[in-house]
Structure 1
């Protein structure tokens, strides 16, 4: 777990610093802040946001916002995607087998609950048509911050912390699919995805499978060693650039563009768990590449906070309420209901030492959306009042931390970690005596 703690301490501190800087700047000098965000680095190139001059001429504008959200954030999603890939694809992956079924079903509840509350709320206030496209904003769970609060609420040794990590990474995996399918960034041109697939297949065959095939029967593995030492991750970076451009041209958010390259990279056959500390000792190219991205991603997240969290406090509106309702009400209820259904009705059970009431507390912790919620808000709505109001809801979801601590005290969740109470037929959400 130490790796996750380092992840929280380092990545989150810079992310929070960027977000707080943006909030202060946007509320003291909004004009200069928005000038920075939309500052144009160059115009008319092959990549960038589409820009219509009002006279029928469409070109692309490469702004600081595009640089951070569309280009650099691809490395952040690559790190998250790597953990998802290992958890799903490797034989002993964390999201494989019966052990992952209850967290996965609870994840479904953590998606369905927020969407239902958000859409019903938007309909109830008479703004369904305006707000409907933001339905995915409250489905997100911020892995780093949720883990931090989870440790405070449950204690480091509580099995609910591992359950939370499984749920959060599955949540992010579904979130990546939602971004790709439901939030296109322009006119869809899916034929370009063939270019991305071709780049992934080609780099896998030439720089992964072929050297290993040539090394059959050779203990010193000369070809694989040469490729590893001389070429390192460069072929995959080039293939990633091609894949990123293909996503951009396909109309799918290019921040997801590096994901097809991850399975092509040489990787260990063992998954030690999500952000496990043991991965530090893995010398396969996939893990080494993740380690080398650590420092750059810290600063990328600072830039993301700076570019996206700058909303004025006067921006609070209906979208703020709906996002918060989805996260603070829909998440806990959805996770508790579906998790209980999996554990009791389907008899899949819970990890030893975890009570059914812990599912509700865990749902409160998972209600911290922040990073991914901000990202989805930035693509769900065009720049303006509605987007700012939705972003404010994502920022205010930090309130789930306080709600989680109170719920943890009421249901004596931390006591469960100390006593290691075996999972049993506990029912309902009655606080422990």
Structure 2
């Protein structure tokens, strides 16, 4: 029995540490390079055809399936990922509550400025790269792709390099939370699906008001909020041409929630039963499986797609991230007289800046949002997002060269969800 429990524990640990996302991405890469046409037919498959009884429903072309709108790709990127971003928004919101990492301005100031560097640095390097290579007209729209940091993978690599109890871990997590918030804003403002139709946002206001009314009526079940105001808000984003994956974000702060934050990976949070935490507890595992589908539906890039887009994304992540984070931390300390956490020096700042260069999940998502039409541009920047895993071994080498040794490990939780922005 203990052996079965150990196996179940190992499986759950793998799931919590984004194994499904990696497996989906690797499977997509292999499939797309072995049989591109069947992979494209798979992601463009019309899910509504499953409910059709016409004999030809299973033999539609990819273009015909896509014209129906409700493809597997749409289901994953616009509906499943709405739950992913809702949980990301929940973490950002709670970090602003008393006890949260963003609640104390003095404590958060330096990492927040480092976050600005982690966004400006990659964007500047990316844009400069497109101008230098004469590809700004075709690739310039993707400037936000290297601004992302994959929080789960970055956290795992940081624990390996620094040890779980090092102050650099808290610095990185706080930076990543702020990066999440900035990523949500960037997606909403800079990557509309078409011309913004602001009149539809009145439905968003209505969804928020309905959420507040449900809360005043002491409705506890998260299903009431998800099926009612959640669907209304999602639909309003869809109709307004703002990416519907962000559609649940507006109602998150108004759902019944705890009034304090216990910390980003606090085990005690599992015992909280407010509506917002129960929402996360229920959807955490399904979203991990959804992220596996996300990897499968988005990472299918043929190797011949390596190109200028790949290199400018990688330059933004592997050069712009660590340089931007380091320079803005230096500015915060020297010009603004702010402080780094005790126990951190610039060896740690440079190293965590490199760790933050792992873009992957949200970088891949932004790639599709920036380049909505499949083709060489989209595939080349996707490849850059996937290859950003190179930041992990580079960070390990940088840490070795700088003489960084991990502090003794302590018992901390595994990531609650593989999120990043």
Q: TM-score range, shorter-chain basis?
A: 0.7 to 0.9
Q: Distance in 1 between matches of 2:306 and 2:29?
A: 13
Residue 33 (structure 1) aligned to one of 28, 39, 42:
39
Once the two structures are superposed, residues 378-419 of structure 1 have per-residue CA deviations (whole angstroms, 9 ceiling, x without a partner) of: 11112111100000000000000011001111122226x46x
8 Å contact from structure 1 (residues 114, 325) kept in 2: yes
Residue 329 (structure 1) aligned to one of 316, 319, 322:
319
Once the two structures are superposed, residues 115-158 of structure 1 have per-residue CA deviations (whole angstroms, 9 ceiling, x without a partner) of: 11001111001111111000000000000000010011111111
Task: List aligned pairs for 1:48-59, cutoff 5 A.
Answer: none
Q: Distance in 1 between matches of 2:223 and 2:109?
A: 35
Q: Distance in 1 between matches of 2:327 and 2:341?
A: 17
What is the RMSD of the two structures over their aligned residues, measured on CA atoms?
A: 1.8
Alignment of 1:105 with 2:113, yes or no, is yes
* Corresponding residue of 1:203: 211
Q: Distance in 1 between matches of 2:272 and 2:73?
A: 35
Quote how far apart the aligned CAs of 1:187 are. 2.3
* Corresponding residue of 1:400: 391
Residue 144 (structure 2) aligned to one of 130, 136, 140:
136
Residue 115 (structure 1) aligned to one of 123, 135, 139:
123
Cα 1:369–1:232, aligned 2, differ >3 Å: closer, same or farther?
A: closer
8 Å contact from structure 2 (residues 99, 263) kept in 1: no
Alignment of 1:188 with 2:179, yes or no, is no
Alignment of 1:68 with 2:76, yes or no, is yes
Once the two structures are superposed, residues 48-99 of structure 1 have per-residue CA deviations (whole angstroms, 9 ceiling, x without a partner) of: xxxxx99xxx9751111000001111000111110001112x1332112210
* Corresponding residue of 1:214: none
Cα 1:245–1:162, aligned 2, differ >3 Å: closer, same or farther?
A: same
* Corresponding residue of 2:381: 390
Q: Distance in 1 between matches of 2:141 and 2:148?
A: 15
TM norm structure 2? 0.87
Q: Distance in 1 between matches of 2:265 and 2:230?
A: 22
Residue 81 (structure 1) aligned to one of 75, 81, 89:
89
8 Å contact from structure 2 (residues 225, 255) kept in 1: no
Quote how far apart the aligned CAs of 1:281 are. 1.3
Residue 27 (structure 2) aligned to one of 21, 33, 38:
21
Task: List aligned pairs for 1:15-414, cutoff 5 A.
Answer: 15-42=21-48, 61-88=69-96, 90-96=97-103, 97-205=105-213, 207-209=214-216, 211=217, 224=218, 227-228=219-220, 231-381=221-371, 382-414=373-405
Q: Distance in 2 between matches of 1:106 and 1:121?
A: 22
8 Å contact from structure 1 (residues 42, 61) kept in 2: no
8 Å contact from structure 1 (residues 83, 275) kept in 2: no
Quote how far apart the aligned CAs of 1:191 are. 1.4
8 Å contact from structure 2 (residues 222, 276) kept in 1: no
Q: Which aligned runs of 4 or more in structure 1 are off by greater than 4 angstroms?
A: 6-9
Once the two structures are superposed, residues 188-216 of structure 1 have per-residue CA deviations (whole angstroms, 9 ceiling, x without a partner) of: 101111111211112212x212x3xxxxx
8 Å contact from structure 1 (residues 158, 414) kept in 2: no
8 Å contact from structure 2 (residues 118, 321) kept in 1: yes
Unpaired runs of 5+ in structure 2?
1-11, 50-62, 409-421
Quote how far apart the aligned CAs of 1:250 are. 0.3
Unpaired runs of 5+ in structure 1?
1-5, 44-52, 212-223, 419-433
Quote how far apart the aligned CAs of 1:33 are. 0.4
Q: Which has the higher contact order (CA 8 A, sep 6+)?
A: 2
Q: Distance in 2 between matches of 1:282 and 1:204?
A: 21
TM norm structure 1? 0.85
Quote how far apart the aligned CAs of 1:9 are. 4.9
